[in-house]
Amino acid sequence: KTVFREIVSWVMTIVIAVALALFIRTFIFEPVRVDGSSMNYTLLDNEYMIVTKYDYWLGEPERFDVVICHYPGRDRTNFVKRLVGLPGDTVSMLNGTLYVNGESIDEPYITNHANYNMEAVTLGENEYFVVGDNRGNSHDSRSDDVGTITKDMIVGRVRNVIWPLSDTRSVE
Q: What residues are annotated to the active site? A: 38, 81
Reply yes or no: is the peptide bond before residue 41 cis, omega within 30 of 0: yes
| SS3 call for 65 | coil
d(CA 113, CA 107): 9
Inter-residue contact 158 to 171 (CB < 8 Å): yes
Report DSSP letters for 137-148, one per residue.
Answer: G--STTSTTT--
Strand order in the sheet with 118-122: 103-104, 97-100, 90-94, 118-122
Please count the CA atoms within 13 angstroms of the CA of 128 that sit on its side-chain side.
25
Residues 13, 119: Cα–Cα separation, whole Å: 57
Q: What stretches of 71-153 adopt beta strand conformation (E)?
A: 79-85, 90-94, 97-100, 103-104, 118-122, 129-131
